[in-house]
């Protein structure tokens, strides 16, 4: 929780805010944090050019990924690790290039898992607030 959120909660308590107002504030600030996190996860996988630059992967891999049906790096999350290894072998990526590709792929997977985790936490927060206000 940021300092400004702590200050706002203190002010709400001082001015006699009830439980629902406090929960509404916490929910709305949590929504803002979730939206910000999801935007940061999404931005790491916008296009293959940026992804290749970020992971120091040669851009020749872009066409190979397009041949798989992937138009953006996040599409690679549809493939499991075994399929990625097969892709590396079939296209004879050099060892360093293959290692960089695996790291880039792993970052895409972690970003997708991160979004799922954040959404689960958000829904648990909503359930908690609703159950306490009933």
Residue 88: phi, psi to the nearest 5?
-60, -45
pLDDT digits over 24-71, tens only?
A: 555 555 555 544 544 444 445 578 999 999 999 999 999 999 999 999
What is the pTM for the complete model shown?
0.56
pLDDT at 49: 92
Query: Distance (Å, rounded) from C-alpha 101 to C-alpha 1?
Result: 36
Percent of residues, the chain, with pLDDT higher than 90: 42
pLDDT at 46: 76
In the chain, where are the structural domains located?
3-133
pLDDT band per the 50, 70, 90 thresholds, residue 110: confident
* Nearest Cα to Cα of residue 58 among 43, 48, 68: 48
Burial class for 104, CB neighbours closer than 10 Å (0-12, 13-18, 19+): buried
pLDDT at 112: 77
* Nearest Cα to Cα of residue 119 among 42, 51, 31: 31
pLDDT at 109: 87
């Amino acid at each position: 929780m940021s300092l400004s959120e702590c200050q706002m909660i203190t002010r709400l308590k001082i001015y006699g805010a009830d439980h629902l107002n406090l929960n509404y504030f916490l929910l709305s600030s949590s929504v803002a944090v979730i939206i910000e996190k999801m935007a940061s996860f999404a931005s790491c996988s916008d296009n293959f050019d940026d992804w290749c630059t970020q992971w120091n992967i040669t851009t020749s891999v872009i066409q190979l990924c397009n041949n798989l049906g992937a138009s953006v790096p996040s599409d690679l999350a549809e493939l499991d690790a075994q399929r990625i290894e097969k892709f590396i072998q079939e296209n004879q990526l050099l060892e360093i290039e293959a290692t960089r590709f695996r790291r880039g792929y792993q970052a895409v997977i972690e970003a997708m898992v991160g979004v799922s985790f954040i959404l689960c936490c958000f829904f648990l927060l909503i359930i908690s607030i609703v159950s306490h206000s009933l």
